[in-house]
Every structure is written in C-alpha cells, then in structure tokens.
Amino acid sequence: MKQKLLPLLLIFACICVLAQAPAGYYSAANGLTGPALKTALKNIIKEGHQDKGYNGLWTAYATTDRDYYYDNDGTILDIYSENPSGPDPYSFTLGTNQCGNYNSEGDCYNREHIVPQSLFNEANPMVADIHFIRATDGKVNGMRSNYPFGKVGIPTFTSQNQSKLGNSVSPGYTGTVFEPIDEFKGDVARMIFYFVTRYEEQLPTFSTGDMLGGSTFPGLQVWELNQLLEWNALDPVSPAEIARNNASYTYQGNRNPFIDDSSYANLIWTNLPVDTTPPTAPTNVTASNPTFNSMSVSWTAATDNIGVTSYQVYANGSLKSTVSGTTTSTTVTGLSPLTSYSFYVIAKDASGNSSPQSNIATGTTLDGPVGNCGTEDFNSITGSDNGYSTRTWTNNNIDWISTNTKIDEKINNSRAITIRNGELTSSTISGGIQTLTLTTQRKFTGSNGNLNVLINGNLVGTIPYSDTETTTTINVNVSGNVVIKIVNPSSNRPTMDDLSWTCFNTLATSDIKKEKPAFAIYPNPVKNNELFVKGENLNKISKAEIYDLSGKLIETLENPFKNSNKINLKGLTKGTYLLKTDNIAAKFIVE
C-alpha cells in the first residue's frame, strides 16, 4: 500500500489509534469460524448502534472523513479523488463544498453508499450507517451509480484519480462494475463485509444488485465475495481506516470488526464447502392481467439450502426476465398482441445452481396497436453536453423544447436528456396516441419518483424512475391532434431516452374476432346492466373474463353460459370493456 510520508507527530498519533476497541468487545466471537463467527460479530456490532439519521452524516464527516494522512490539510478524504502519490486533482472543504448540484468532478462532495441504498429501499438504519457511507465526489458517485465493485476491463469512465467504470473482468461476472484505485480497494471490501455482517438478518429481503447474496450466509454473490477477499489481502488496513473506525464508533456507537481485525474475513469466508445443491422448483406459476404487450406472472418461492438469489422467467422457451430472489412475481413485457404464451420459472442460487423447471402457465395477450407511430431518441439535440438549460430541436417534423435539461448522461450508449424541475414538450402531433413508452433511469443521488405525462394539458398517467434502467408503457387513448408534455415536478434528476408512441386506434381490441366458434354481443352499448351473447357452443365455454382497456382484470366468470346467454354487469362504471373467453374477444360499452 502506497502512502505519503507522515509528519513525525502524526506517526505517533497513528500508533495511538491502532485498534481502539474496548477490552472484551469481541470476546463473544473468540474461537469461532464460518457462519457462527459472522453471526457473533453481527450481535456485537448491532448492540450499541445509534441511528443518527441521514442528515447526521454531514456532521459525522467532520471527524470521520478528514484528510490527516495523505495531504494532512483537513480537507475531505475522498477515495474517488485522492491521489496517494502526488497532488490531488482537487479538494473539498468540509461544509463549504457540500452538494448541492454538480456537473463535473470537483464541484462538490456528497454521501456515497458503498452498498447502494436502492438495494434496501433507502430504509433505516442502513441508509444512515456511517460505516459504509463515504464522503465522495458527486460526479464520480453518480457515475458509479448502483453498480457492484470489481475489476474493470475496458473503462467507459475514468475519474481524475483513476477510479474506473466499465465491463467486469472479475471471474464469474461480466456486467458493469466500478473499480477504485488500489489504495482503497481494501477499504471498500471491509465496508461491504461490515454491511453483510451487520444486516445479515435483513439480507433475504434486500435486492441483490448482482453483489449481495440474498441470504444470511455467505451474504454475497460468489464472484463478488472472491473479489473482495482478494482486495482485503491486497490492501491492508491503513491508519486512516483505523482513525475513521474510531471516529465512527464515537459517533454511532458500534465498530467495523473487519478493520479492527481483517483476518475475520478469511475466518468467515475462506475454504467454504462448494454448494452443489440446486434450489427446489418454483410452484403455482400463474399468468394473469394480460395487455396487448405484457402479462403478469407470479409463483410460490423456491427453497434452497443457502438461499435463492434470483428467478428466471421464460415465455415460449425464451428468457424474458430475471428478478431478485426476494420478489415472487413480475410483469413480462415486450410480448406480441393476440399471442398465446407458455410461462415457466427457474430459480438460481448464489453458486449458479439452477432449479428444475416450474409448472407451465399459459395466457394470451390482448389485441392492440402494433408498431410505433412516432419516436424521439434525442440524438438531434445540439449544443454543449453539460449544464442545465433550455434545449430546442426538431426531429421527424416535430419541434421539441425541454427546460432545465442537460444532455451529458446516456442510456444504452445513445444521447438522452436529464431534467431537473423541468418539462419536455412537443409541437402538435396528428394521429392521436394509443400508448406511450419511455425508458428512464436516475443516475444521480436522490430518491425514486414519477414523471407526469400530459396530453393536451390533461394528466393521462405517470412513468416511474429509479436507479435501475426501466422501460414503461402507459395507455393514453387520445384521438385527434395531440401535444405531448412530460413533466418532472421534483429536484431529482431522472434521465430519459427512447420515447415512442402508437397512433390512436379506435379498434385497439377487436370488436369481433373472426374465429370459430364465432359469437356476437348485444345490445352494444349495454342496456340495463345486461349483456347478451349469441353463437354456437356457448355452453362449452369454460371461462369468461372482463377487462378494462388498460388490461386490468375486472371480473372472472366460470362456465358463464351454462344456464343462459346473459351476463349481469352490475357494478361496472361507464366506459369501454373487453369480454374475453377461451379463444375469442369482443369489445362492449357501458353507458
């Protein structure tokens, strides 16, 4: 480990701060190894932990995150900008340079959750735990986003102190990772070891983020665990870490045991038996709530000797979705209208073992618009790439204006827009809108939220955003000339890309499908809450379902025409609905 020469008095000060745990603090862990040691340490560091609140971190940094070890000037010790072998590219003064807004490196420092807060839904006490939340450069923090830590192959971003973001070359993982410089690799490892020990009881309820294990033990994905154990050995505990641990103990009332004794990591996680036991198969898989391009799939959770980390959802033999082990349902999107699908689910554990295939559930999507009527990819925007300002451009004969907008963030490696307390507005578009689709991602710190979608000034729906890239489709159903407006009413800074919409189609669901056995419904609009059906073999129809035009299931009727050809619609409000039987769908209106 490479550090600058310390002043003589500071050397004596460092000697004095070595391992300041009270006598007997870890006595309950003596002689233990493996899961028993991890649990014993959890019990020790849970005791005395005082939740000082998220805003309390700013106060804590006055004693926990100051540089008296490299530049010895009392500035913020930022692991994403510190240069251990020369002058720092920039520095932050406590309080004065606290974020705030930022555009570039060096603008300000904020609170970096080494384990992303999105994985535990920003809940207490995790969201304010000083032991894994560092004061770091805002821009680099935003670029790191919620990616796991690992070795980078080809960087897509490199900070001024050579921290990197890019594809993983850590064995066992090929996704995007963030790699700190060697000086702080051990620091990161020991903070994550603290997290999965302190919160081992809650781990099964957290999202994994491709780093956590979804179970109390080992608590981490195998690839991430191996990488962090390597970094723990590569970068031994430094005087700066020891001082931070002591200051954190004074502030919060508990310690990081992996700084007090880094050998705990090997005692817990080295020489683990190879897990070759696959999870059991998920059961009770069902498919419901069809729309023209999606279907809800749910199942009963699988079990595993260590813990299920994820579920893979297949439709007609193709992998459609991978979800966290703590979720027991998902919505499969990207399906084709009026198509029958067979769904099954496979469970995975942290060692990559796969369960047997679940039972198969079938479902048919509804009729609806096919293809896009209009698109906007934001690649036609000109101007500088950073700074929030009003942007105007023309694409596909549509004029756009976007206020308080920056364009230096990307989704899927193409230009996108980031709006803060602003709005995106189109000129008048002909043809109406049936559905509207938008991809979003929050790339900066803040909270999750929703964008408001207005058509001709009327709110027609909302589109969510979080630090996970998400594509959302909403039903609009507005005919004629339209003006699209997407409003961000908050100071959060969501990035959006790939806006598209389908043209309004008055027959988005077929009035009568030309399939046998054919049937007709009457009267339409419905009178006196009674819908009549005529056709052949009605008594052989086993089930009928009533949906609204958003695809929401309103009512299910078993053997609906066993005794008559009439359906009682009491309780339905005015509107347009879809009657769907085993293989036929028809639209009707309630007045």
pLDDT band at 37 (very low <50, low <70, confident <90, very high): very high
pLDDT in tens, 5-15: 344 334 333 33
Q: Which of 479, 514, 474 lies closest to 338, judged by CA?
A: 514
Please list the residues that pair with 332 across neighbouring strands.
295
pLDDT in tens, 83-134: 999 999 999 999 999 998 888 999 999 999 999 999 998 999 999 999 999 9
Higher pLDDT, residue 459 or 548: 459
Name residues whose C-beta falls within 8 Å of residue 188's C-beta, 6 or more positions apart in sequence.
79, 114, 149, 180, 228, 231
Q: Answer whether 465's CB lies under 8 Å from 418's CB.
A: no
Residues 46 and 170 in one domain: yes
DSSP string, 334-350: SPPTT-EEEEEEEEEET
pLDDT band at 77 (very low <50, low <70, confident <90, very high): very high
The least confident of 7-16, 229-238, 324-333, 536-545 is: 7-16
Number of H helices, E strands in the chain: 9, 32
Residues 70 and 183 in one domain: yes
Higher pLDDT, residue 107 or 414: 107
The pLDDT score that the predictor gives to residue 432 is 83
pLDDT in tens, 39-58: 999 999 999 999 999 999 99
Residues 428 and 527 in one domain: no
Measured between alpha carbons, how far is 464 from 453 in angstroms, rounded to an integer?
Answer: 11
276 domain residue, yes or no: no
Q: How far is CA 458 from the centre of its chain?
A: 29
Supply angle C-alpha 464, 470, 476, rounded to 5.
Answer: 55
The mean per-residue pLDDT over the stretch 569-576 comes to 80
**Count of domains in the chain?**
4
Is the Cα torsion angle 256, 262, 265, 267 positive or negative in sign? negative
Q: How far is CA 269 from the centre of its chain?
A: 28
Strand 329-332 relative to strand 340-349: parallel, antiparallel, unpaired? unpaired
43 domain residue, yes or no: yes
Q: Strands, DSSP E only, in 259-326?
A: 283-288, 295-300, 308-315, 318-324
Q: Quote the tokens at residue 547.
A: 């949906």
- Does residue 193 have a pLDDT over 50? yes
* H or E element at residue 187: helix 185-198
Q: What is the CATH number of the domain that holds 407?
A: 2.60.120.260
What's the maximum distance between 2 C-alpha atoms anywhere in the chain? 97
Measured between alpha carbons, how far is 252 from 229 in angstroms, rounded to an integer?
Answer: 26
The mean per-residue pLDDT over the stretch 205-217 comes to 89
Residues 360 and 497 in one domain: no
Q: Of 467, 502, 537, which residue is a domain's last?
A: 502
Measured between alpha carbons, how far is 6 from 568 in angstroms, rounded to an integer?
Answer: 85
The mean per-residue pLDDT over the stretch 468-474 comes to 89
- Does residue 208 have a pLDDT over 50? yes
Residues 299 and 322 in one domain: yes
The pLDDT score that the predictor gives to residue 200 is 95
445 domain residue, yes or no: yes
Q: Answer whether 180's CB lies under 8 Å from 151's CB.
A: no
Higher pLDDT, residue 457 or 309: 457
pLDDT band at 271 (very low <50, low <70, confident <90, very high): confident
119 domain residue, yes or no: yes
Residues 482 and 547 in one domain: no
Q: Which domain holds residue 318?
A: 283-364
The pLDDT score that the predictor gives to residue 372 is 62
Residues 533 and 458 in one domain: no
Higher pLDDT, residue 154 or 521: 154
Measured between alpha carbons, how far is 210 from 214 in angstroms, rounded to an integer?
Answer: 10
- Does residue 583 have a pLDDT over 70? no
Q: Of 364, 393, 408, which residue is a domain's last?
A: 364
Residues 328 and 437 in one domain: no
Q: What is the CATH number of the domain that holds 563?
A: 2.60.40.10
4 domain residue, yes or no: no
- Does residue 334 have a pLDDT over 70? yes
417 domain residue, yes or no: yes
* H or E element at residue 141: helix 138-144
Residues 398 and 354 in one domain: no
455 domain residue, yes or no: yes
Measured between alpha carbons, how far is 417 from 496 in angstroms, rounded to an integer?
Answer: 6
23 domain residue, yes or no: no
The least confident of 343-347, 419-423, 547-551, 578-582 is: 547-551
**C-alpha torsion angle, residues 50, 52, 53, 56 (rounded to 10):** -150
pLDDT in tens, 424-435: 999 888 878 888
The pLDDT score that the predictor gives to residue 551 is 60
Measured between alpha carbons, how far is 304 from 308 in angstroms, rounded to an integer?
Answer: 6
Residues 119 and 59 in one domain: yes
Residues 385 and 403 in one domain: yes
Q: Of 269, 300, 328, which residue is a domain's last?
A: 269
pLDDT band at 565 (very low <50, low <70, confident <90, very high): confident
The pLDDT score that the predictor gives to residue 517 is 39
Residues 463 and 534 in one domain: no
The pLDDT score that the predictor gives to residue 379 is 86
Q: Which of 128, 103, 94, 132 lies closest to 115, judged by CA?
A: 132
pLDDT in tens, 511-552: 333 334 356 778 878 888 888 888 777 888 888 888 776 566
